[in-house]
Chains A and B, each alone.
Chain A
Amino acid sequence: MACMHDHSCEDHDCSSNWSLYKHIDLSKVSALNEAVPGSVKSVFKAWEQRLNSSEGHLESNDGDPELLVFIPFTSDVKIKSISVVGGADGTSPSKLRVFINREGIDFSDAQSMQAVQEWDLVENLNGALEYQTRYSKFQSVGNITLHFPDNFGGDTTQIHYIGFKGEATQLKRDVVATIVYELMPNPSDHKTKAESGGGLSHIE
């Protein structure tokens, strides 16, 4: 599997650099203006699979090339660079703007807010290109929002792969993962061990 990089790949495995996809919380990934709800999850895969679109790709609605992708991570990450593989015939995105650690951004917010960093993209059909970040700004990223405002003239915008290169810290931004709210206390939900017949203690 040729990396198509300029260097020789025997020394390291390129794919391990692009392994931040493992730290993405896929269940909470969302996108705005996607034609098929939930299709955004198919663009996060291993680097080797970046050109393999058998499981679908992300496409925007007809006539509207804007896309907004919200990606939360399971732990804080440091992002060194980003890679985006678009579609053919002008459906590749032409611009990328990112926002860090902001939830609930929609299109009007994205258009009015100052992005942390912006790139002009080129048509990158084989995924060899990566876009470097200003690393100091991407030191502890809990979630990232990608805004693709425009494309190269196609009716829709297609994205087949999004990859992140960097390191994952073991820290987590949000401490509370699952909260159960009780509107009304229900004693039967809170049986203690004694009430439920007592458990035998194990001695091994």
Chain B
Amino acid sequence: MVLEATMICIDNSEWMRNGDYAPNRFQAQADAVNIICGAKTQSNPENTVGVLTMAGKGVRVLVTPTSDLGKILACMHGLEIGGEMNLAAGIQVAQLALKHRQNKKQQQRIIVFAGSPIKHDKKMLEMIGRKLKKNSVALDIVDFGEEDDGKPEKLEALLSAVNNNDTSHIVHVPAGPNALSDVLINTPIFTRDGEGGSGFAAAAAAAAAGGVSGFDFGVDPNLDPELALALRVSMEEERARQEAAAKKAAEEAAKEKGGEQQPASQDTTMTEGPSASASEAENKKDDLMDDENALLQRALAMSMDDTTSSHDVRDTDMSEAAADDPDLQLALQLSVQDSAKEGNDVSKLLADQSFVSSILATLPGVDPNDPSVKDLLASMQNQSEKKDEDKGPDGDEKK
């Protein structure tokens, strides 16, 4: 359990947009950083880790060495990609940050992610390496991303200048199907001294393998049953909520369109009613019930009313709704023209089983074969029959 202060130098240059590491180089790098931070803090609780970015406007220290993992992970959010990486400056700033660490007993280590081409020459890198060695700072280099001519040689030269008794390492990660973090887990960057870090590395490797073999949510139920259960329950709740929200949206749309025919909308709410009550979301059910009750009462009142008044209500409703549907508009105009002669045409239209069922079919969430819909249609038929009897044997009786 080596007591260590680590500074991680992140490459956030333009070269990190490339997608040859899934999903893109920068994201792969960020995942690797997260795993490294976790491993370091787990292997010794007094270890500290800090992060800095090398590209962008300039070298910027995001967080000074701290043992608070949350702070480190939070600072990885909202990082912008851009600019060019300045490796020399990044390493020097990292060295300075380590020099001012709070616990002087910690060993100093820098981990560099070198993804873009290196513009410094070999000599300068060697000088930097010697200075690090002189101040007994260890250096780990992750060579990924751009494969420049001479980049591996430069980095190897840097490593040999820094390396003191095998405390420094270099890893070359070519682009491929394996995630950057998975490749790193098996390297000495993690498994140094074969203790502590290897425990975390083993767990991380198991989690990675578990993700591949299809554990739900990437959490092994054997390792952490409570977490797996919590994740599963929240996923189901989210799904149910989304379904209910989708139904409500459909119902809203149906209400708008179905205002032309109060019974039709009543049908939709009736069909919504059973399905809404079937859903698990209690709140949504209450809302639907309220809407449904109001509409139901309105529909009942209308059907109880005098035919003339109901007729007028229906007319106004139809004219409001007609704005939505041009086909219906045409039909309404026809019916309005005729209504002077025969006020029953509207009811005739409504009584027309095929017409009503075709209208109902266009409404989302309504199944014309639904028995409740059929019942209503039947009751409508009876009403229209009654009216027909009143007015005369004009009504079409179709069943």
Same assembly: yes
Chain B contacts of A37 at CB under 8 A? 164-165
- Residues 251-307 of B contacting A (Cβ, < 8 Å): none
Complex partner residue of A66 from B45, B46, B134, B136, CB under 8 angstroms? B134
Q: Is B133 among interface residues, defined by CB-CB distance under 8 A?
A: yes
Write out, one digit per residue, whether chain A residues 87-108 have a CB within 8 A of any chain B CB (1) or not (0).
0000000000000000110111
Given A106-B99, A181-B46, A183-B45: A33 in contact with B104 (beta carbons within 8 A): no
- Residues 159-197 of A contacting B (Cβ, < 8 Å): 181, 183
Q: Is B135 among interface residues, defined by CB-CB distance under 8 A?
A: yes
Cβ of B165 and Cβ of A61 under 8 Å apart? no
Given A37-B164, A181-B46, A183-B45: A32 in contact with B134 (beta carbons within 8 A): yes
* Contact count A vs B, C-beta below 8 Å: 23
Chain B contacts of A64 at CB under 8 A? 130, 134
Given A37-B164, A104-B104: A32 in contact with B46 (beta carbons within 8 A): no
**For A32, A37, A106, A181, which residue has the most chain B Cβ atoms within 10 angstroms?**
A106
Cα separation A183 to B42 with both chains bound (whole Å): 12
* Nearest opposing residue in chain A for B46, CB measure: A181
Cβ of B130 and Cβ of A106 under 8 Å apart? no
Number of B residues, CB within 8 Å of A:
11
Complex partner residue of B133 from A61, A66, A104, A108, CB under 8 angstroms? A61
Cα separation A108 to B104 with both chains bound (whole Å): 15
* Nearest opposing residue in chain A for B108, CB measure: A106
Complex partner residue of B134 from A61, A104, A181, A183, CB under 8 angstroms? A61
Complex partner residue of A32 from B45, B104, B130, B136, CB under 8 angstroms? B136
Cα separation A104 to B102 with both chains bound (whole Å): 10
Chain A contacts of B99 at CB under 8 A? 106, 108
- Residues 25-63 of A contacting B (Cβ, < 8 Å): 32-33, 37, 61
Complex partner residue of A106 from B45, B46, B133, B135, CB under 8 angstroms? B135
Cα separation A103 to B104 with both chains bound (whole Å): 8
- Distance to closest chain A CB from B9 (angstroms): 20
Chain B contacts of A33 at CB under 8 A? 133-134
Chain A contacts of B45 at CB under 8 A? 181, 183
Cα separation A43 to B136 with both chains bound (whole Å): 20
Chain B contacts of A106 at CB under 8 A? 99, 135
Chain A contacts of B133 at CB under 8 A? 33, 61
* Nearest opposing residue in chain B for A33, CB measure: B134
Chain A contacts of B165 at CB under 8 A? 37
Cβ of A32 and Cβ of B164 under 8 Å apart? no
Write out, one digit per residue, whether chain B residues 177-219 have a CB within 8 A of any chain A CB (1) or not (0).
0000000000000000000000000000000000000000000
- Residues 103-140 of A contacting B (Cβ, < 8 Å): 103-104, 106-108
- 8 new A-B contacts, CB < 8 A, other than A32-B136, A107-B135, are A32-B134, A32-B135, A33-B134, A64-B130, A106-B135, A107-B134, A108-B99, A183-B45
**23 A-B pairs, CB-CB below 8 angstroms?**
A32-B134, A32-B135, A32-B136, A33-B133, A33-B134, A37-B164, A37-B165, A61-B130, A61-B133, A61-B134, A64-B130, A64-B134, A66-B134, A103-B104, A104-B104, A106-B99, A106-B135, A107-B134, A107-B135, A108-B99, A181-B45, A181-B46, A183-B45
The 7 closest A-B pairs by CB, nearest first: A104-B104, A33-B134, A183-B45, A106-B135, A103-B104, A37-B165, A32-B136
